[in-house]
Chains A and B, each alone.
Chain A
Amino acid sequence: MIYVSPVNSPTFILGKIIPYGAIAYLEMLLILTVGTLWFHIPFQGSLLLLLATSLLYVLVTVGIGVFVSTITRTQLAAMLLSLLITLMPSFLFSGFLFPIASMPYMFQLYTYFFPARYFNDISRDIFLKGLGLEYLWGNVALLLVYTLILFALASLRFKKKVA
């Protein structure tokens, strides 16, 4: 039904993303509040910068979801795939639990596939070190490129399905 509607594919994908993105962003704000008020995690850096970069991060994560949905046929497979290629590695290969520096070199490169790695660095740098964009631009740029590629791929795959 969506295929026959006059909505073009980028618009359609954007429409899918915005509500989920908004929810994810709200959750982020909630965690930020709990982290600072309850756990008393020192906040050294710029709140504005953190809010801006997390918006970008939320976009990436939702983008991955859309992209996964364009490759798998059944919803169950999409579920497991998203578990395997996003959730698990975001926990394990982002530096969140295990230090990246201790990984074999190949796997250090592998960590760059997961946007959580960039945001893990960014948020720690802003939160604990109070760094500004002059230090973070590398990771931020990578996140931005990641987002753009994902959206391009998702729109492209979606078009192919229509054809």
Chain B
Amino acid sequence: MTRMLACIRKEYLQFSRDWMLLLLIFFLYTAEIIMCTYALSFEVRNLHLAVYDQERTQLSQKLVERFTATEYFGKVFLVDGPREIDALLDAGRADLGLVIPPNFSDQVGKGRAAEVQLILSGVNSNTANAARGYAGAIFAGFSHELMVQSLQQRGIRAKLPEVEPRMLIWYNPELKFRYFMVISMIVLAGFMVGVINTAASLVREKETGTIEQLMVTPLRRHEIVLAKLMPTLSIGLVLLFPSLLIARWFGVPMEGSITLFFLASAVTLIASMGIGIFVSTFARNLQQALLVSFFVLFPVMFLSGTIVPVESMPQFLQYLSLLSPVRYYMEISLGIFLKGVGWDILWPKFAMLFLFGTILFFWSLVRLRRRMYG
């Protein structure tokens, strides 16, 4: 036991000496989370609209104002020809173009369908989809208003039937993307540190040749490896505290049990360290370790539902994502933070996480024994 403790002490010492590394890990758990949460969202706002208004009447002005009155549309370019719309769309200065024909009010006055043209830049399909949705709602609202007006002009004061949805949004009533973002950044930080740091610390020993020196000590092999994992595990758990403070600062509710969250974090860290060990068995030097890590990190990250929703993936990839421990960790974290659900609901996810975590971990250990110490 004492020799194990000495070995662990050596690992902590070695870890704490690389202050640049510590700083970077700290950055990943704090500044990176703040920046990403503050800046990034899939919400589409500040769209630029190019308007070619061939009529320039009160009515056409009113339609344009409908767009500018919302928070979704920022700049409006008033142009004098269709070519200018093309140029603005090409240059990426406008996201959508609106062409109002010269007979717009005329058609509306006659009670006909007045056609306006909307040109969307589909370069980013997500942005275009959102813009289409906003524009559709604006046109519908505008048409509705015109309809009521025209009925009133004809002296019909009857109320129009309407369906009015009363929406209730659970778990995140203001639909803040930030909540999701903070949680997914915390989840990813732990995962990345777990994989990269483990892989690197194992490969470093191999590269410098000090592994042989460790091998001739009376230390058991598993003791060497377990000692190596201790600093990563502890920093991964300790740095969750500043991250939780940041989450609080962004107003993310913490409905569930913190203990449960730490338990999930610890299991995920162990699973990611398993991946790290696995990576280290492929790499002979740090450079290889880094590249193999990226090779593993990105698929696991993208299949985890932290960035891209799992539901929108092809069926095959959805099944594949069931193998990603980060997916379970993300679902558990969302459940604990936002829904406040407990063990009774989360246990199947915990079971899967635990299962994959242990399989990954021990499988990698076995692989490591064969490859490294042969």
Contacts and interface: CB of A to CB of B under 8 A. Distances in A.
Contact of A129 (B42, B90, B201): B90
B10 to A, nearest CB: 17
A74 B18 contact: yes
B49 interface: no
Interface string A79-109: 1110110011000110101110111100100
Contacts of B262: none
A20 to B, nearest CB: 11
A102 B196 contact: no
A92 B40 contact: yes
Most buried by B among A75, A81, A103: A75
Contacts of B5: none
A72 B23 CA distance: 12
Question: Interface size for chain A: under 10, 10 to 19, 20 to 34, or 35 or more residues?
Answer: 20 to 34
B286 A79 contact: yes
A73 B20 CA distance: 9
B21 A103 contact: no
Interface stretch (A5-13, A46-54, A120-128): A120-128
A47 to B, nearest CB: 19
Nearest to B41: A102
B40 A98 contact: yes
Main SS at interface, chain B = helix
A104 B39 contact: yes
A76 B21 contact: yes
Contacts of A110: 39
A35 to B, nearest CB: 15
Given A72-B20, A74-B20, A131-B90, A79 B290 contact: yes
A112 interface: no
Given A74-B21, A103-B39, A107-B39, A95 B44 contact: no
Contacts of A75: 286-287
Main SS at interface, chain A = helix
A92 B40 CA distance: 8
A148 interface: no
A80 B196 contact: yes
Interface string A106-144: 010010000000000100110011010001000000000
Nearest to A129: B90
Given A76-B204, A79-B286, A129-B90, A101 B95 contact: yes
A77 interface: yes
A128 B286 CA distance: 39
B24 A125 contact: no
B149 interface: no
A92 B36 contact: yes
Interface string B90-125: 111001000000000000000000000000001110
25 contacts: A76-B286, A77-B21, A79-B289, A80-B28, A81-B20, A83-B192, A83-B196, A84-B24, A84-B27, A84-B28, A84-B32, A92-B36, A93-B40, A98-B39, A98-B40, A99-B127, A101-B46, A102-B44, A102-B45, A104-B38, A107-B35, A107-B39, A124-B124, A125-B92, A135-B90
Interface of A: 72-77, 79-81, 83-84, 87-88, 92-93, 95, 97-99, 101-104, 107, 110, 121, 124-125, 128-129, 131, 135
Given A83-B294, A98-B42, 20 more contacts: A73-B20, A75-B286, A75-B287, A76-B18, A77-B24, A80-B21, A81-B24, A84-B24, A84-B27, A88-B32, A98-B41, A99-B124, A99-B126, A101-B47, A102-B45, A103-B39, A107-B39, A124-B123, A125-B90, A135-B91
Interface of B: 18, 20-21, 24-25, 27-28, 32, 35-36, 38-48, 74, 90-92, 95, 122-124, 126-127, 192, 196, 200-201, 204, 286-287, 289-290, 294, 307-308
CB-based closest 4 A-B pairs? A107-B39, A77-B20, A80-B24, A79-B290
